[in-house]
């Protein structure tokens, strides 16, 4: 699956307009007849589906121990429509007491409940049923994701929601294939290993792909018999809450999955440091990842981290510039640039730099920005005011430091958090736009002369999450794939991902791997067992 496929022929840019209405304006009765979200679905209908789905979620409650419960202190999180910047409701906010309750429920479900003791094949069947429920509710989930974070509905429905179901099915298949080994040892002994679930998992997920990141962490943990407490980002709680209900409907026993949205500094910090949690898994910024890692280390708790990136994309001489420019635009601007893998540093050989820059500018200007509920839209709003402000500051800083603004760089419309896809040319490695993770629709073009130079500069960053090389020369491809200090290298493509492909980073981009068989190691521990053979004398 490609998370940012080329969209084909350019569309004229759309203009963002104030949209949205509070769910209170809709009748509280049963939802209208269901329909599928397709490229022909009007934006207003997709928006209506989101608010109807919103009515299915008890947003004033947390999901703890298999039931919906109000937060202990009654705290709430505002739900902000990124298209307008206005609140349309609120959701429950967990505090430390709620995290305590959720961990206690997960602890009891692990220590005393059926889930870890269930036949592995039966756990797999529950996950298969959950995947089916995600698939049958895919339109509502996609619409909620668009409402929550401004993700283009075409991506939410066509890419992200299917990836959630695929991830669940992939690990459902692994449930009965996790096992130990027999070991050769000296003497008349039989020795073997057991791979056992690690226990209670605390999963802290980001706002950019809320449900997909939850599935990537929960599916392998649940498959091996762990129980979990999920703390979704406070900006994006909705699909995680709906997922909790679907998991219960699929047959997950009470306490196996608990969902406690809340601020990172309270709910997230309490979960990361909790003595009742056996393992922490976190996806987010490197800055916050350091805090999570320290909190986990204080209790000698294993912690896997998928953190930030400043991914390079190298365009070699002889590459197909049309393919490379289209892929680079998608790699930089997909989901408003709010991707840890975003290719914000594009190293272009001097012999093709000017032609590539012209193509990059054309691709950025042709990208449709507007209402994310419209299938014509390729780029919606940034997630919130803070992210909008951060990206806007970098747009100013790039110009101040001497980069040339070749395309974009401005706000779209007067409401909400819409920004133009932006291309800077003449960028130097020392500039902040080339060093820092911006997490916005900003593409920086840098000139290079030799492959060795490009690889050295690409690696000259504290990050090491992903990279790409565009070349028709096999020696160039092989040299780059081996030299780039990153967790994933794409060749003549970008953001090709699969549940079967391990994903994670080198250096400050993280510790451990999500996805693939490797992710199962995050949630299991090995126990060695030795015993004498039947007739062996015990000495």
**Closest alpha carbon to 51 in 143, 155, 156:** 143
Give residue 32's pLDDT: 43
Burial per residue of 482-502, b for 16 or more beta-carbon CB atoms within 10 angstroms, e otherwise: ebbbbbbebbeebbebebeeb
CA dist., res. 21 & res. 25, Å (int): 7
The model's confidence at residue 183, banded by pLDDT at 50, 70 and 90, is very high
Give residue 377's pLDDT: 97
The model's confidence at residue 30, banded by pLDDT at 50, 70 and 90, is very low
Partners of 258 in the β-ladder: 229
Query: Going by C-beta distance under 8 Å and a sequence separation of 6 or more, which residues neighbour residue 375?
Result: 38, 39, 40, 41, 43, 153, 154
In a 3-state reduction of DSSP, which class is residue 166? helix
**Each residue's pLDDT tens digit, 422-479:** 999 999 999 999 999 999 999 999 999 999 999 999 999 999 999 999 999 999 999 9
**Each residue's pLDDT tens digit, 195-210:** 999 999 999 999 999 9
Give yes or no for residue 367 having a pLDDT over 60.
yes
Give residue 36's pLDDT: 81
Range 365-382 average pLDDT: 97
The model's confidence at residue 535, banded by pLDDT at 50, 70 and 90, is confident
The model's confidence at residue 163, banded by pLDDT at 50, 70 and 90, is very high
Range 2-11 average pLDDT: 41
CA dist., res. 21 & res. 281, Å (int): 36
Range 386-402 average pLDDT: 98
The model's confidence at residue 9, banded by pLDDT at 50, 70 and 90, is very low
Give yes or no for residue 25 having a pLDDT over 80.
no
Q: Active-site residue numbers?
A: 306
**Each residue's pLDDT tens digit, 299-335:** 999 999 999 999 999 999 999 999 999 999 999 999 9
CA dist., res. 291 & res. 152, Å (int): 31
In a 3-state reduction of DSSP, which class is residue 210? helix
CA dist., res. 314 & res. 453, Å (int): 11
Look at 6-10, 163-167, 366-370, 378-382 and tell me which has the smallest mean pLDDT. 6-10
Give yes or no for residue 26 having a pLDDT over 90.
no
Lookup result for tokens 């130990």 = 180
Give yes or no for residue 60 having a pLDDT over 90.
yes
Structure tokens belonging to residue 80: 């902000």
Range 82-88 average pLDDT: 96
The model's confidence at residue 2, banded by pLDDT at 50, 70 and 90, is low
Q: In whole numbers, what is the pLDDT of the chain averaged over residues? A: 93
**Each residue's pLDDT tens digit, 104-122:** 999 999 999 999 999 999 9
Structure tokens belonging to residue 445: 């073009």
Q: Which domains does the chain have, with CATH numbers?
A: 45-52+59-77+88-306 (3.40.605.10), 312-491 (3.40.309.10)
Look at 21-25, 292-296, 367-371 and tell me which has the smallest mean pLDDT. 21-25
**Closest alpha carbon to 467 in 318, 343, 302:** 343
Look at 10-24, 239-253, 394-408 and tell me which has the smallest mean pLDDT. 10-24
Assessment of whether the complete model's pTM goes beyond 0.85:
yes
Structure tokens belonging to residue 97: 């007491």
CA dist., res. 503 & res. 68, Å (int): 33
Give residue 21's pLDDT: 38
Give residue 245's pLDDT: 97
């Amino acid at each position: 699956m490609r998370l940012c496929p080329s969209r084909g022929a350019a569309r004229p840019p759309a203009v963002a307009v104030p949209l949205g209405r509070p769910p209170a304006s809709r009748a509280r009765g049963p939802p209208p007849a269901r329909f599928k979200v397709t490229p022909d679905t009007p934006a207003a209908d997709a928006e209506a589906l989101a608010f109807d789905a919103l009515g299915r979620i008890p947003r004033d409650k947390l999901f703890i121990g298999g039931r919906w419960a109000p937060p202990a202190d009654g705290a709430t999180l505002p739900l902000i429509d990124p298209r307008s910047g206005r609140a349309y409701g609120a959701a429950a906010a967990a505090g430390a007491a709620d995290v305590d309750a959720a961990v206690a429920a997960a602890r009891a479900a692990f220590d005393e409940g059926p889930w870890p003791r269930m036949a592995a094949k039966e756990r797999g069947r529950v996950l298969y049923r959950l995947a089916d429920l995600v698939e049958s509710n895919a339109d509502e989930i996609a619409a909620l994701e668009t409402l929550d974070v401004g993700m283009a509905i075409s991506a939410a429905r066509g890419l992200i929601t299917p990836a959630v179901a695929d991830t669940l099915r992939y690990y459902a298949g692994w449930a009965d294939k996790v096992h130990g080994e027999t070991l050769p040892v000296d003497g008349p002994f039989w020795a073997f290993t057991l791979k056992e679930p690690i226990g209670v998992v605390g999963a802290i997920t980001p706002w950019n792909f809320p449900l997909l990141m939850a599935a990537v962490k929960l599916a392998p943990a649940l498959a091996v018999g762990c129980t979990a407490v999920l703390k979704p980002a406070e900006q994006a709680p909705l699909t995680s809450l709906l997922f909790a209900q679907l998991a219960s409907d699929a047959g997950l026993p009470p306490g196996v999955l608990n969902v406690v949205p809340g601020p990172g500094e309270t709910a997230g910090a309490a979960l990361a440091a909790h003595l009742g949690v056996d393992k922490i898994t976190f996806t987010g910024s490197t800055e916050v990842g350091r805090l999570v890692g320290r909190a986990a280390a204080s209790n000698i708790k294993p912690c896997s981290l998928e953190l930030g990136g400043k991914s390079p994309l190298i365009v070699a001489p002889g590459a197909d510039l049309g393919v490379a420019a289209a892929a680079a635009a998608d790699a930089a601007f997909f989901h408003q640039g709010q991707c840890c893998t975003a290719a914000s540093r594009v190293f272009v050989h001097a012999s093709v730099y000017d032609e590539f820059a012209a193509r990059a500018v054309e691709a950025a200007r042709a990208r449709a920005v507007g209402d994310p509920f419209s299938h014509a839209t390729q780029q919606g709003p940034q997630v919130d005011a803070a992210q909008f402000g951060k990206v806007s500051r970098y747009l100013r800083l790039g110009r101040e430091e001497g980069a040339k603004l070749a395309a974009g760089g401005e706000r779209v419309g007067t409401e909400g958090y819409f920004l133009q896809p932006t291309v800077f040319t003449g960028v130097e490695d020392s500039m902040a736009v080339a060093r820092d993770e911006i997490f916005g629709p900003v593409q920086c073009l840098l000139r290079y002369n030799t492959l060795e130079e490009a690889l050295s500069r690409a690696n000259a960053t504290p990050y090491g999450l992903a990279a790409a090389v565009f070349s028709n020369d096999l020696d160039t491809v092989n040299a780059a794939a081996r030299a780039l200090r990153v967790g994933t290298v794409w060749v003549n493509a970008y953001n090709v991902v699969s549940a079967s492909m391990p994903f994670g980073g080198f250096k400050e981009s993280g510790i451990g791997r999500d996805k693939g068989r490797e992710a199962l190691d995050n949630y299991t521990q090995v126990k060695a067992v030795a015993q004498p053979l039947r007739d062996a004398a015990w000495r």
